[in-house]
Chain A
Amino acid sequence: MIMPLHPGAEAIQNKGWLLAHKWLLARRFSQLAILILFMIGPGLGIWLVKGNLSSNLVLDTLPLTDPYVLLQSIFAGHTPETTAMIGAAIVLGFYLLVSGRVYCSWVCPVNMVTDLAHWLRERFNIKSASTISNNSRYWLLAITLLLAFTTGNVAWEMVNPVSMMHRGLIFGIGMAWTILLGVFLFDLLVSRRAWCSHLCPVGAFYSLLGTHSPLRIRADAREQCNDCMDCFLVCPEQQVIRPALKGADKGIGPVVTSANCTNCGRCIDVCSKDVFHFGLRFNNKPVHNKNIHNHTDHSTGAEVL
């Protein structure tokens, strides 16, 4: 078995660099474009969007509000005006459709920080024994709402790295960079993908939103999997792949149904066998066929089929 130099090397060979980074590039484009849309207002005086991710106004007409921040405000005892409610409903509807954690991988600016930390961690082969349960985020989500309830203040927003970073880049960052540096170093040195995939309550909230969302990653061509592990290595939420990819003999369908999947599409990029694609969650029946998962030489994988 030939170990690839880094995950995705074989996909680059087979598909070319551009196609093997298609979704990563699209994601970076989306993240940066959203940030730039917000920043050209104060920067250049072009006001396409006003405000920040907590709440904003697009083209002076469309209100958008982060439902999680608004929920904290409601827990703090406030009854919001209709503008915020409408804004939150629009955002809720959008993420219910496209899966909540699209927010994490396509919108959230902190993703670029933690992706960089992860990339460096892999690059310098930093290992650390510390493990954090990836359910911690749900505890933290509950705690943030409890905090709002007990303090009457949207207390989490005083330290939330997500809103801090976005607001900071648009309105002035102050000392908030220290919190981002903390997240970066934590992800780099303490634990793999610690913030986004284990702790962040914003991600936990959007995970819950996406529990039943139709847009999903599908491993329809899972018979072609050659066990190269590339998808697993690049996946920010490794636990979500296995059932869909390897669950055929257990009667599990090919759809990545876990709400923790961020729909980042990186698994599609790095798979040299084109196992994954974006699709809908419906029609998730295990295709009855022979399970082929014992070949070690992946170049022959297609012939075995």
Chain B
Amino acid sequence: MIQQQSPSSQPPASASRRRFLLSSARTAGGAALMGLSIGLYSRQSISLPAEALRPPGALAEKDFLGACIRCGLCVRNCPFDTLSLAELGEPVTTGTPYFIARDVPCEMCDDIPCVKACPTGALNHSLENIDDARMGLAVLLDEETCLNFQGLRCDVCYRICPAIEKAITLEHVANVRTGKHALFIPTVHSDHCTGCGKCERGCVLEEAAIKVLPLNLAKGELGHHYRWGWKEKEKAGRSLVSPDIKHEYNLPEGQHYDYEGEGLIFDDNTSNGAPFSSDPLKTLNQGMKEAP
């Protein structure tokens, strides 16, 4: 076979083909290596520290990184200079917008200029009411330093909240330390908190006791098969587990129990008011009188 090939044409052709294949393989190999390293690098350096928040309307982080083209128009359109673009070397994915609530929180503009400015929809344009934004969720992280938890009336997070009385309420709890006062516990409600971070910014402590965290860190999730019995019951209008049996105490004659609030009631007017007589003997002898 080899001898039959024309010596003038065949060897150069195969040599050039060999050269072509080699150089193609070299280039492809180099490109693949570069791609692999960029891919691995990008996987490692995709990061969003818990204190860095995305602008309102940002898609879920994974989708956001594919949708954001790092143009910075949201940053430019933020009238309060809240947003900044991550620079190479910062702990946020390079070129993407973020804000640190403790430094500058989101002022929740009614017209949401940052979302309008986004050309790609990485900030979702279907967000029309800023109250629907979910940049994160405020969490009262440290009960040990929160002044309200000590029984003081700081209330700053509650007062500064743009959704006062909705996103943060003050729940009254007995103050066991003093025995006579109430604790006004700041309580965040996820159905109203936008994660703007004003509470975190406003917290008077050296290190904020209340912080806005990314939703995935801040929010628990019920098992999908969980049902709240009382809600299901309300929905159905009846108990779903077993037929409701009227609860009854087997009480001595002349007594019954009103579990709507009154408690133990003596039908007998003589022992009116108190469940037991002030005379312990009388109590012990109760029901013995009729015996003889």
Residues of A whose CB lies within 8 Å of any CB of B are 41, 47, 50-52, 54-57, 63, 65-66, 69-70, 72-73, 76-81, 83-84, 87, 132-133, 135-136, 139-140, 142-144, 146-148, 150-159, 163-164, 167-168, 170-176, 178-179
Contacts and interface: CB of A to CB of B under 8 A. Distances in A.
Given A157-B69, A167-B70, A73 B120 contact: yes
B31 A80 contact: no
A263 B85 CA distance: 33
B71 interface: yes
Given A56-B73, A163-B95, A172 B67 contact: no
A66 B30 contact: no
B88 A176 contact: yes
Interface string B18-29: 000001001110
A54 B122 contact: no
Contacts of A135: 27
Interface stretch (B35-43, B162-170, B225-233): B35-43
B76 A50 contact: yes
A56 B120 CA distance: 11
B34 A80 contact: no
Contacts of A83: 119-120
B219 to A, nearest CB: 23
Contacts of B77: 50
Given A132-B30, A153-B62, 11 more contacts: A41-B76, A47-B76, A50-B77, A57-B117, A70-B120, A76-B67, A133-B27, A143-B38, A150-B39, A151-B39, A158-B94
Contacts, number: 171
Contact of B32 (A47, A143, A167, A171): A143
A81 B42 contact: no
Contact of A155 (B27, B39, B88, B125): B39
A76 B65 CA distance: 9
Contact of B118 (A81, A152, A168): A81
B120 to A, nearest CB: 4
20 contacts: A52-B72, A54-B69, A76-B66, A76-B67, A78-B120, A80-B121, A81-B118, A81-B120, A87-B119, A133-B26, A136-B30, A144-B35, A159-B41, A167-B72, A168-B88, A171-B85, A174-B89, A175-B87, A175-B89, A178-B88
A179 B35 contact: no
A51 B72 contact: yes
A172 B72 CA distance: 11
Contact of A73 (B39, B66, B72): B66
Contact of A55 (B39, B90, B120): B120
B138 interface: no
A140 B34 contact: yes
Contacts of A153: 42, 46, 62, 65-66
B63 interface: yes
A250 B241 CA distance: 92
A205 to B, nearest CB: 14
Contact of B38 (A66, A69, A159): A159
A158 B93 contact: yes
B53 interface: no
A163 B89 contact: no
Nearest to A50: B76
Given A152-B65, A174-B88, A57 B73 contact: yes
A240 B97 CA distance: 41
Nearest to A87: B119
A158 B38 contact: yes
Lowest 9 CB-CB distances: which A-B pairs, in order?
Answer: A174-B87, A76-B66, A175-B89, A139-B31, A55-B71, A143-B35, A155-B42, A81-B121, A78-B67
B119 A176 contact: no
Nearest to A135: B27
A66 B38 CA distance: 21
A163 B70 contact: yes
A87 to B, nearest CB: 6
A227 B23 CA distance: 30
Nearest to B93: A158
